[in-house]
Amino acid sequence: MNEDLLSKYPFLKEGLREFFSENKSLEDFLEENEDYLNEVSRDILSLVDSKDVRLNYETEKRVKKYILAKILLTYIRDYFVSAKYAIKERNALYENLTKENEDRVIIRIGKELGISMDLKNASFHIPIPSFLRNAVVFNDKELKLCNQEMDNGNVIASREITSKILREAFYRKYMKEVNEPSELPEEVSNILKKYANPIIIRGEQIKQERANLGPLNKKAFPPCLSMIISQMEKGANVSHPARFFLVTFLHRIGLPNEEIIKYFGEVPDYMEKMTKYQVEHITGTGRGREYSVPSCQTLGSLGLCYRETDDLCRTGKINHPLQYYKIKNSRNRSVDNSRPVNRVDNSSNPKKE
């Protein structure tokens, strides 16, 4: 097996067969690779804390750490935690695919991920159902079906488009596999427990920090969000970045999806089914990945910052909309302060004992 190929694509079945033989027990594999397991635990913990992690190791280490991470995440079975790691692997795959020189390798990766593609005239022909199932990146016009050239039930895709489709297919498959209910042998669970516990504890701490944002208080909304809501209430078709920001912000402060969807009821292009799908995608309640709230700097670059209209923003001390909300909310607890918002969060799985 080509080692360079395995170091770039450690999920290939050849890697599993080469480094995790069928006649070796899971317990033996974990015990033989506890040093790597310890590294994997630290990597996942760093990603949960939004720190960067390097994945480009020599082949054996890369493949073994990939396998060990998958085992550990299957034990933890927490959408929030697994999404952090899956996104890192997803992005690494995308980077490698865009640099891949061999078309046959891309065809092979597609087959591994359940997408049967053909190569014709230097373009990849992807079946429409496979394309639609994986063309779910919010606000990516390149992936809209109406912008594609088609031939006999297939989308004719460039290398860039194909890489994006395979990237999403990998993410969907990975998240499904590590979050499916599964029973591990007791001796395996005993090994994994000490590596999983710090990750579980940190994940719960982060969720608790979210709860500390307090009850929903519209009076504490930052001016950028208030402006978007005002425009939507007047029936304006606000931009996709504005809608994305609104969904991430409302989800982050604890509003259930059903309540978030109501904000879209007055926009001219409102379609309940599509809005529900997009809200679930952004909040992670449909696929597991949860997008972050854009920073003030990002909102400014998108033309969505109204700093000059607000005294607190003008101080220059605010660099994130959630920071604004937390400060304002702590000053005014006069609304709905009897109880916190009822969150809807797929990531709240029971802890392993």
Q: What is the DSSP string of 18-63?
A: HHS-TTS-HHHHHHHTHHHHHHHHHHHHHHHTT--------HHHHH
Q: Please tell me the distance from the alpha carbon of residue 125 to that of residue 185, in angstroms, as a whole number.
A: 43
pLDDT of 149: 93
What's phi and psi for 151, nearest 5 deg? -150, 115
Q: Please tell me the distance from the alpha carbon of residue 23 to that of residue 17, in angstroms, as a whole number.
A: 10
Task: Indicate left, alpha or beta for 152 from its phi (over 0: left) and psi (-120 to 50: alpha).
Answer: left
- C-beta separation of 98 from 200 below 8 A: no
Take residue 172 and report the two structure tokens written for it: 């969907």
Q: Please enumerate, as own/partner, the contacts of 295-302 that have beta carbons within 8 Å and a separation of 24 or more.
A: 295/319, 295/320, 295/321, 296/224, 296/320, 296/321, 299/224, 299/245, 302/239, 302/241, 302/242
Q: Please tell me the distance from the alpha carbon of residue 138 to that of residue 56, in angstroms, as a whole number.
A: 28
Strands 154-157 and 149-151: antiparallel
Our measurement of the distance from residue 348's CA atom to the centroid of its chain's CA atoms, rounded to an integer in Å, reads 16
Q: Which residues, other chains included, contact 27 with Cβ-Cβ below 8 Å and sequence gap of 6+?
A: 185, 187, 188, 191
Kindly list the domain boundaries of the chain, sorted by start residue: 1-77+181-211, 213-331
Helix H or strand E encompassing 127: strand 123-127
Take residue 40 and report the two structure tokens written for it: 């994997």
Tell me the pLDDT of the chain (353 aa) as tens digits. 577 899 999 999 887 788 877 678 899 999 999 999 999 999 999 988 878 888 878 999 999 999 999 999 999 988 778 888 988 898 899 999 999 989 999 999 999 999 999 999 889 999 999 998 888 665 567 788 888 999 999 999 999 999 999 998 998 899 889 988 888 999 999 999 999 999 999 888 876 766 666 667 888 999 999 999 998 888 888 888 899 999 999 988 888 888 888 888 877 777 888 888 888 888 877 655 678 898 998 999 889 999 889 999 999 889 999 999 989 887 654 444 333 333 333 333 433 33
How many degrees, rounded to 5, is the angle at CA 143 between CA 299 and CA 115? Answer: 130
Take residue 179 and report the two structure tokens written for it: 């979050």
pTM for this model (two decimals): 0.68
pLDDT of 109: 96
Task: Given CATH 1.10.20, say whether it is the number of domain 213-331.
Answer: no
pLDDT of 338: 33
Query: Under DSSP, is residue 149 helix (H, G, I), strand (E, B) or coil?
Result: strand
Take residue 131 and report the two structure tokens written for it: 């394309």
pLDDT of 227: 94
The secondary structure of residue 12, as a DSSP letter, is S
pLDDT of 213: 67
pLDDT of 199: 94
